[in-house]
Homo-oligomer: A and B are copies of this chain.
Amino acid sequence: MTTKHYRVPPKLVGYYLKKNGQPKTIREIGSLCGDVERRLLKKRRSRQKLFRMHIGNPSVDTPRPLINYQCMAINSPGITNSYAPCDGDPTLKKEASNFLSKFCDVYIPPKYCISSAGGAHGLYLVMKAWHDVLQVNNDTRDTMLLFAPYFPVHKMQADDVNFKTESIEFYDYRGEEKLRDELERLLSKGNIHSILYSNPNNPAWLSLTKEELAVIGELADKYNVLVIEDLAYFGMDFRYDYSRPGEAPYQPTVAKHCKNYAIVLSSSKFISYPGERCGIVAISPSIGIDSNAELSPAIYDHIAFKGMALTISSVPHSSQVGMAMFLRDLNNGKINFREALMEYRDKAKKIKNLFIEKGFYLTYADDCGEPIADGFYFTISRIGFSSEQLFLELTYYGIFVVPLNLCGSKRDGVRICISFVNPDDIPELENSLKLFDLDHTNE
């Protein structure tokens, strides 16, 4: 096998960068990858192997029972031919509430578990609601705090709802003490109305410790700040088994530690269900700012009535009913969601090692001293490379990733997503990385 196979002509990449500009979003990186692939196919008349490590699309199958439940729902009267209730299918609301009890050890009443068309939709609705509720309450704070590196869509959504944003390089403030000091400093300024993060974190796969979550919760209540917790990767810190209903350890969440929170639960990764767009926004029943401690009903109304009507009228119906039945099985311990996901852990371990063996290092390596979990994403750096240089240089070896400058990171590096790497292709990936290493060690 000739090594040429692994190379993508820099001129070709350059052509598309010149034509379309430097990619500014993950989707634009996807477009670049598609353009390059089509061009190579045309030129070489054989499919060039490209490693699509920029996408966070799951590779695990949707659990069979969930598929069967959705099919049952589609065949039931009153599902496909009627809008779901604007706050969600009642059974899903009940089972979601139950799920949060069983797997997070947190009680949120079914009313406040609102269906959304996936995690992004849930986040968007919460932000829009919080924006309007602050305005109605004459609260002049205008800024959302992000923990960098962050998921770029978080920032884009904040911009869209007219939130200003600030971010902290979270890795520089790990642990109870440092985090408390930095948050005190920032929140006491008086301009911040909310904190948004994902846990485990996209892109770096950092997991907040319970102590850190406790500090965030404590200060959120002290400063009347809403914590928006994106649980897009529920239960996927595989160092711990969070998958046994009603048994510790529970998925850590800020909801254990404060009153001012909204949790956004996605079905895309933990039950491999991104296609059908079904998630849950669970808001605290006792959100308050200053004197006004009863904001939860207004936020609920805004999400279920206004936000839903504005954006999509109602959440897809059959997927809600299917997911309700599936959550019931999880809640009863009839099905375990974690087992099918272990292939992510195993792939991450292998691929991480490949990069490290070939002269890369982990950009974000540990959680307060403990090595980060192996999961869906990790971040890598290489001495002498900026984020954009590393992104660009890797494309020449057929590897597409996300440069960390798109994620507001202070560090140079790129995000790697392991889901789309076929285990059979790992030797090829190794070859590409070897070439990269050779080329850049000789320099």
Q: Evaluate contact between A311 and B74: CB separation under 8 angstroms.
A: no
Q: Is A60 an interface residue (CB 8 A)?
A: yes
Contact A274 B81 (CB under 8 A): yes
Whole-angstrom distance between the Cβ of A143 and the nearest chain B Cβ: 19
Q: How far is the CB of A373 from chain B (nearest CB, A)?
A: 22
Does residue A316 face the partner (Cβ distance < 8 Å to B)? yes
Question: Which residues from chain B contact A262 at a C-beta distance below 8 Å?
Answer: none
On chain B, the residues within 8 Å of A119 by CB distance are 313
A70 touches B74 (CB 8 A): yes
CB nearest to A305 among chain B residues: B27
User: Complex Cα distance A138/B60, Å?
Assistant: 46
Q: Is A67 at the interface (CB under 8 A from chain B)? A: yes
| A352 CB-CB contact with B under 8 Å | no
Binds B, one of A40-48, A98-106, A153-161, A217-225: A153-161
**Contact count band on A:** 35 or more
- Number of identical monomers bound together in the oligomeric complex: 2
Residue of B nearest to A313 (CB): B120
Report yes or no: B306 in contact with A275, Cβ–Cβ below 8 A.
no
**Is the CB–CB distance between B311 and A312 below 8 Å?**
yes
The 3 closest A-B pairs by CB, nearest first: A275-B317, A62-B80, A80-B275
A58 to B317, CA, bound (A): 14
Considering the complex, which residues of chain A in the window 44-80 have a beta carbon less than 8 Å from any beta carbon of chain B?
57-62, 66-67, 70-71, 74-75, 77, 79-80
Give which listed residue, B27, B28, B316, contacts A277 with CB less than 8 A.
B316
Contact indicator A316/B276 (Cβ below 8 Å): yes
Map CB proximity to B onto A98-132 as digits: 1 under 8 Å, 0 otherwise.
Answer: 00000000000000000001111100100000000
Question: What 1/0 flags go to A298-326 for Cβ under 8 Å of B?
Answer: 00000001100111111111110000000
Mark A residues whose CB is within 8 Å of B: 25, 27-28, 57-62, 66-67, 70-71, 74-75, 77, 79-84, 86, 117-121, 124, 153, 156-157, 160, 268, 272-277, 305-306, 309-319
Most-contacted residue by chain B among A25, A124, A309, A312 (CB, 10 A)? A312
Contacts of A81 in B (CB 8 A): 58-62, 272-275
Contact of B305 with A28 in the complex, beta carbons under 8 Å: yes
When chains A and B are docked, how far (Å) is the Cα of A160 from the Cα of B70?
34
Q: For the complex, what is the distance from the CA of A128 to the CA of B67, rounded to whole Å?
A: 34
Q: Is B156 within 8 A of A310, CB to CB? A: yes
Point out the residue from B70, B157, B310 that lies within 8 Å of A80, measured CB to CB.
Answer: B70
The CA-CA distance from A28 to B71 in the complex, in Å, is 32
Q: Are B311 and A276 in contact, CB atoms less than 8 angstroms apart?
A: no
Residue of B nearest to A58 (CB): B81
A150 to B331 CA separation, bound complex (whole angstroms): 45
A84 to B62, CA, bound (A): 15
Contact B25 A305 (CB under 8 A): yes
Cα A193 to Cα B152 with chains together (Å): 31
Q: Are B82 and A74 in contact (CB under 8 A)?
A: no
